[in-house]
Structure 1
Amino acid sequence: MPTPDPSRTHTITSGYSVSDDSYFLELVDVADGRTLLIATVPDEDPAREPTISVDPRLQPTEIPYAVMRWFMQQVEEEIATVRAWMRLRPELVTLIHALRQEYCGAVDDAGFPAVLARVRAAVPPADVTTVIEAAFHRTPADFGIPDRV
């Protein structure tokens, strides 16, 4: 699901590239649908650095400063999120990684009960919220479930 910037002139789409073992965030110009920038955040190897790339086939495009700052803040948050959960216990990392790959970091309200049941079956109750937050950038409360499940 695209995330619009405050001016609604650009959006970020995100996903997971299995072949690159990386999450990506794409800055898209709403007016013409062009992807202007791609941030790649590796999750398998903490030694691999995140990168920002531009499609060399694109004509030079001006990106407003406020939009660029907003995009970079989103990239910074993604890096912090990925790096944080990579330091959890190995069994949690394995589950979070699987969920993020399977759901590309997003699950809708209708699909959440099945995900919650899967997480509850796999980890101790104290770790459920941590796994949900790391996998989906949302808390169980965002899905109408008490914050600490």
Structure 2
Amino acid sequence: MPGPNPRPGAYALTFHYSLPDDAWYVELDDLAAGGRTVLTGVVPDEDPAREPTVRYDPVAGHQDIPYDVMRWFLENVEEEIRTSRAWMALRPETVEAIRTLREEYLGVIGDEEVAPVLAGLRGTVPEADLADVMHHAFGRGADGSLPEGP
């Protein structure tokens, strides 16, 4: 888990999802420069073949970023990689099943679609992997249930 912001009044992070890129963006903002984004960590979460990257703002030009701030930024990018791409470390067949479902259903499945999807998965995915597939494809349990919570 990343530590706290080492320079709270000088730098901040912004997290958002880019639909066109199918990726999470972690942006390092320089508050002294009016909140300008100086670095962007791009973490694709749909395609296992796309690697995460870090981009510099070419408009901002050369900018010194303190070591502790750079380390904090990269720790947050690493955490985003770990959480949004965890499913990509599963067995290749499981990864392919998740990727296919995420692409077909865009991460959302209606209650009426759960039973047919589960039936299809049981014919192609080992029972031991069913929970991982349902969780990472739809945020649901192995039985298709939604998590309890507020």
Q: Return the TM-score normalized by structure 2.
A: 0.60
Q: How does 1:49-128 map to 2 (within 5 A)?
A: 49-86=51-88, 87=90, 89-96=132-139, 123-124=144-145, 128=147
State the shift of 1:123 in Å.
Answer: 4.0
Conserved 8 A contact 2:6-2:68: no
Q: What is the aligned partner in structure 2 of residue 22 from structure 1?
A: 23
SS at match of 1:47: coil
Structure 1 stretches of at least 4 aligned residues deviating more than 2 Å after TM superposition: 85-91, 122-125
Percent identity over paired residues: 45
Q: Which has the larger radius of gyration?
A: 2
Aligned equivalents of 2:74, 2:39: Cα separation in 1: 10
Aligned equivalents of 2:31, 2:87: Cα separation in 1: 32
State the shift of 1:91 in Å.
Answer: 2.2
Aligned equivalents of 1:12, 1:47: Cα separation in 2: 26
State the shift of 1:71 in Å.
Answer: 0.3
Aligned equivalents of 1:36, 1:75: Cα separation in 2: 14
State the shift of 1:45 in Å.
Answer: 0.9
Q: Return the TM-score normalized by structure 1.
A: 0.60
State the shift of 1:89 in Å.
Answer: 2.4
Q: What is the aligned partner in structure 2 of residue 99 from structure 1?
A: none
Residue deviations 1:39-90 (CA, integer Å, cap 9, x gap): 0000001121000001211131110000000000001111011121454622
Query: Structure 1 regions of 5+ residues with no counterpart?
Result: 97-118, 130-139
Query: Structure 2 regions of 5+ residues with no counterpart?
Result: 91-130
Q: How does 1:2-13 map to 2 (within 5 A)?
A: 5-8=5-8, 9-13=10-14
